[in-house]
Structure 1
């Protein structure tokens, strides 16, 4: 993992001690609290090195071999490596690695396939849909006519028959499958079948599971979807950014939708870091990591249920867990605050078919730190104690600090 002290830190401290103190404070926060936000992870030293590389200085509008700026030889080489590694890793015919974020990738996919006013079928926001799946505060909800499908009120599992019924009724131009808070694998073959039946494009928003897909710990949407949008952070453990995978028949439309339609200059240092992450994700070590992420999530979910939380869908297939803390007498927002004070950082989320807010957490970051099943049991027990008021924040925070001290995300360089 990255070192805690590097020559660049000395330069920053001499030139801008105020910012140096802020960054040091963030490193301390990450190192002494539990990072349980499902969308976060720790990158490798090589990824961080690429992010801080001279490619940060390079303007490179366009694509390799067709840039709008001179001096792009090395930028072209870096992007070609990133795209080729992404294609190999996910078995895709085409990869665009320029999107600045997952939302940017989704915007480009919509721009390539849709026109304003088109109907789109996607998971409703109350059931785990993303802002880009039709929120009225987002471009998606303003530009397109979204119809939301949901989950079964009893089981919390995807209501696939509702998907089919709504598709037949509304005849959408595109169907989006993907979620930010659904902890189970999606049936991509079913979505493909329904999309073909109604003549719709199938867009997979795989921002959360794509790292598990890379490690062979989750089914891939690539063989089924017309376009796959994803992030390169989260479980994939790369830099913050996005990417798009598709077949050759849509490659030109996707590329034009990214540049020049929705973005201008590519962030070449980030693209280089994506290349590093794709290379790392192709290794046996990453496959073992991805499997452990899922094992940890299942153990954590089961023990949280034993501690009295209501775990949605009864468990998880992925890195992600959503749970209702109200059986312990604490609503989601209050629970998040109590846990944060205890050094456990996570998110709130909507709970399907409920007015209360729930908790959303994940195991990607703590697994990167080397924690396994025993530590997941320990975390869940501490959850319960904090939410039941059996331990105060000071004592809990000290216990968390002891645990993270044994599993530091960033180790000092020997010698």
Structure 2
């Protein structure tokens, strides 16, 4: 069956290292003919890919624009300034650091600015959906700081802000972290700010998941409330894999020093240029429409799965995230994930608010980039349910999904990434022709 290749020719790589070229083409085929429902993944535009594969990858650029430790940085300085200015305008931030290599390294830098080893930090507990950097004993955060967890209500799945306030009063943390990898509702940043102010704590917003929705005007902006906002540039934001920090002018120098030289070395200039491209794309009306469609798709998917008997965390979603429990169907989360994978639906498991087993975490960012809308979400939910229950044959569903992704390919000939099927994109014919899967 025809599948979409990696949207770059790879001619030289194929000649020089066919083994690796084959892996890349194979991964492109896997992404193209299965449903990518992992909440942290998306398809970047061909322009972002071109920036990532540009000669900027050759440039060593320790330091910041105008103050580098290497010569020849005149042009990469301009690229980084463009990325910074676009991000500041996009999120209304006084200062942005775009050098963080990942979301985790952004959080590490934020902690370096506001905390010292041994300080007490209040954050969502890992069993409730907190990230590794929110106090896991396997992570630097749990080893260096004293984390006190708060959770979500076991019955509603919602954050209990009275519980957060009570924990803050009892433990007097140096910082409070708000953010989660699986919480599907908007976070009340104003409520967290009020709690932090009451106990004299700093507020750190880990907005890795919702930041793309913020860019598109489909989620609340944490920037006016948090001392530091940590975020990724992939996920819904649809940029390259990387991180960033947003803060006020008062913390700008400290944030920059925490990234370089305290926690990182040289900046990855090809990635920073790709971030600049993504920020530019995210500032468009088209991206705003995309972000709102992501949420609309997630809401339809959540409602349809609930109608099929899954227990939907919080009863729905405000974001790209949908978290469900398959236990009411008599199927454990890990088993359900395996069945879905065999049918071409790729997703994650996650912790559940009630702490009983593993749930299924879905995201609609990637399928929305492909152009899918509410009708496709309703059909996906039917296939999803049938596979988990064992009512539908996985091989039959796999073929239907191949047909669906063929109608909505991530990188189609003459089609701009994220545009509706059939929308032409000038100058993007190279590297987008279909090939036959091996």
Smaller-chain TM-score bracket: over 0.9
Contact 1:233-1:239 within 8 A present in 2 as well: yes
Q: 2:329 aligned with 1:328, yes or no?
A: yes
User: Hey, what's the Cα distance between the residues in 2 that align with 1:174 and 1:375?
Assistant: 42
**What is the TM-score with the length of structure 2 in the denominator?**
0.93
* Counterpart for residue 144 of structure 1: 145
Partner of 2:418: none
1:365-404 per-residue CA deviation (whole Å, 9 max, x = no partner) reads 0000000000000000001110111111111110110100
Question: Does structure 1 conserve the Cα–Cα contact (< 8 Å) formed by 2:48 and 2:278?
Answer: yes
Deviation at 1:6, TM superposition (A): 6.2
CA contact (8 A) 1:296 1:373 kept: yes
SS in 2 for 1:254: helix
Distance 1:344 1:6 in 2: 22
Runs (5+) with no aligned partner, structure 1: none
SS in structure 1 at match of 2:246: strand
| 2:204 counterpart SS class | strand
5 Å matches for 1:286-365? Answer: 286-365=287-366
SS at match of 1:202: strand
Post-superposition Cα deviations, 1:172-228, rounded to whole Å, max 9, x if no partner, equal 000000000000001100000011111110000000000000000000000000000
Q: Distance in 2 between matches of 1:342 and 1:6?
A: 25
Checking the alignment, whether the CA contact within 8 Å between 2:352 and 2:359 is kept in structure 1 is yes
Matching residue of 2:435? none
Match of 2:29 in 1: 28
C-alpha distance in 1 between matches for 2:204 and 2:74:
33
Note if contact 2:155-2:354 (Cα within 8 Å) is conserved in structure 1: no
* Unaligned segments of structure 2, at least 5 residues: 415-428, 431-438
Aligned residue for 2:59? 58
Q: Which residue number corresponds to residue 210 of structure 1?
A: 211
SS in 2 for 1:116: coil
2:372 counterpart SS class: coil
Say what the alpha-carbon RMSD is for the aligned residues: 1.0
SS in 2 for 1:24: helix
Q: In the aligned structure 2, how far is the partner of 1:157 from the partner of 1:41?
A: 26
Greater shift in the superposed pair: 387-396 or 209-218 = 387-396
Q: Structure 1 residue 354: deviation in Å? A: 2.7
**3-state SS of 1:176 partner:** strand
Separation in structure 2 between the aligned mates of residue 75 and residue 354 of structure 1, nearest angstrom: 48
Cα 1:6–1:285 change in 2 (3 A) is closer
Q: Does 1:125 align with 2:126?
A: yes
Query: Helix, strand or coil for the counterpart of 2:10?
Result: helix
1:9-20 equivalence runs, <5 A: 9-20=10-21
Offset, 1:4: 3.8
Cα distance between partner residues in 1 of 2:19 and 2:338: 28
For the 8 Å contact 1:4–1:411, the answer to whether it is kept is no
The answer as to whether partners of 1:173 and 1:199 remain within 8 angstroms in 2 is yes
Report the secondary structure of 2:403's partner residue: helix
Report the CA distance between 1:38 and its aligned residue. Answer: 0.2
How far apart in 2 are the matches of 1:154 and 1:27? Answer: 41
Contact residue 5 and residue 412 of structure 1 kept, 8 A: no
Residue 7 of structure 1 and its aligned partner are, at CA, apart by: 6.4
Q: Does 1:246 align with 2:244?
A: no
TM-score normalised by length of structure 1:
0.98
Q: Secondary structure at the match of 2:109?
A: helix
Cα deviation, residue 152, structure 1: 1.1
Q: CA deviation at 1:258?
A: 0.2
Q: CA deviation digits over 1:87-107, x for unaligned, max 9?
A: 000000000000000000000
Moved over 2 A (4+): 3-8, 412-415
Contact 2:6 2:24 in 1 (8 A): no
Per the alignment, in what secondary structure is the counterpart of residue 238 of structure 1?
A: coil
Aligned equivalent of 2:103: 102
Q: Is the 8 A contact 1:102 1:229 kept in 2?
A: yes
Asked whether the equivalents of residues 61 and 68 of structure 2 are also in contact (C-alpha less than 8 Å), the reply is yes
State the match for 2:277 in structure 1: 276
Residue in 1 aligned with 2:399? Answer: 398
Do structure 1's residue 177 and structure 2's residue 178 form an aligned pair? Answer: yes
Distance apart, 1:5 and its partner CA: 6.3
Counterpart Cα distance in 1 of 2:199 and 2:327: 41
